[in-house]
């Protein structure tokens, strides 16, 4: 029995460079979503969920329009969040990130991600292929969980817009990261959202 999670970061947001908290996809973001839907068209998905935020909801709508057998459901467990706070073993260079983050935001993020892991990082009784359309930090936390890494290690794990990460959840063995931030479906001009320019 195999349980596969297909984790997708939403497409590029319109006017994202202005720091808006949420909004519709840019034209490039829509193209990213369409390209990813074509890439995943042959996957026998069991179910799909997306963050209720507009940029993720629109990504889900565009993708499922091209995958008629699939309907995506909103889930607050996939909302953008801060998955954990600073810890004593965290490198000091990460400390500035938390300057404007409140303890309440950290507490809410920790609770959300604990529930998200309980919801999806569990072995299935039969073969499952689940699509999760969400946000950068959420995917980073799933990757961290796969490796059983220290809580702060989600920081510095980044996904491009409509990048694809696949995790296989197993019952008697640890989970496996099959691919991370796969951009093979996106031409170079559609590869956006990473903190540094890609060397290709």
126-144 pLDDT tens trace: 889 999 999 999 999 999 9
Per the domain annotation, does 128 fall within a domain?
yes
How much is the pLDDT for 123?
Answer: 84
Does residue 161 belong to any structural domain of this protein? yes
pLDDT at site 200 = 45
Quote the distance between the C-alpha of residue 138 and its chain's center: 5
Q: Are 169 and 130 in contact (CB under 8 A)?
A: no
Q: Which residue, chain included where needed, has tokens 């519709």? A: 24
Residue 8 lies in a domain: yes
Instruction: Give the whole-angstrom CA distance, residue 57 versus residue 63.
Output: 10
115 found inside a domain = yes
Q: What angle do CA 40, 44, 50 make, to 5 degrees?
A: 65
Torsion, CA 17, CA 21, CA 26, CA 30, rounded to 10: 130
Distance of CA 35 to the CA centre of its chain: 17
Residue 187, pLDDT score: 96
Q: How far is CA 7 from the centre of its chain?
A: 5
pLDDT at 171: 83
pLDDT attached to residue 197: 57
Domain interval for residue 175: 3-190
> What residues of the chain score a pLDDT lower than 50?
200
Q: Dump pLDDT digits (tens) for 107-131.
A: 999 999 999 999 999 888 888 999 9
Asked whether residue 46 is domain-assigned, the answer is yes
In a domain, 198, yes or no: no
The count of structural domains within the chain is 1
Determine the pLDDT at residue 21.
Answer: 75
**200 lies in a domain?**
no
CATH of the domain at 129: 3.40.50.1240
Per-residue model confidence (pLDDT) at position 23: 83
In a domain, 66, yes or no: yes
Q: What is the pLDDT of residue 2?
A: 84
């Amino acid at each position: 029995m195999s349980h596969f999670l297909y984790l997708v970061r939403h497409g590029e947001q319109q006017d994202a460079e202005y720091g808006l908290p949420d909004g519709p996809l840019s034209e490039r973001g829509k193209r990213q979503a369409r390209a990813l839907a074509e890439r995943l068209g042959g996957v026998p998905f069991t179910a799909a969920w997306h963050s209720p935020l507009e940029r993720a909801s629109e990504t889900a709508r565009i993708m499922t329009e091209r995958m008629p057998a699939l309907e995506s459901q909103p889930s607050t467990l996939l909302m953008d969040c801060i998955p954990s706070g600073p810890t004593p073993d965290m490198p000091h260079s990460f400390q500035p990130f938390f300057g404007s983050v409140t303890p309440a935001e950290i507490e809410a993020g920790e609770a959300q991600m604990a529930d998200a892991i309980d919801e999806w990082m569990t072995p299935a009784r039969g073969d499952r292929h689940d699509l999760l359309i969400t946000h950068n930090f959420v995917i980073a936390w799933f990757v961290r969980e796969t490796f059983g890494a220290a809580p702060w290690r989600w920081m510095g794990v980044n996904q491009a817009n409509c990048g694809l990460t696949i995790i296989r959840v197993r019952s008697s063995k640890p989970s496996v990261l099959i691919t991370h931030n796969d951009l093979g479906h996106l031409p170079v001009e559609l590869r956006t959202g990473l903190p540094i320019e890609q060397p290709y």
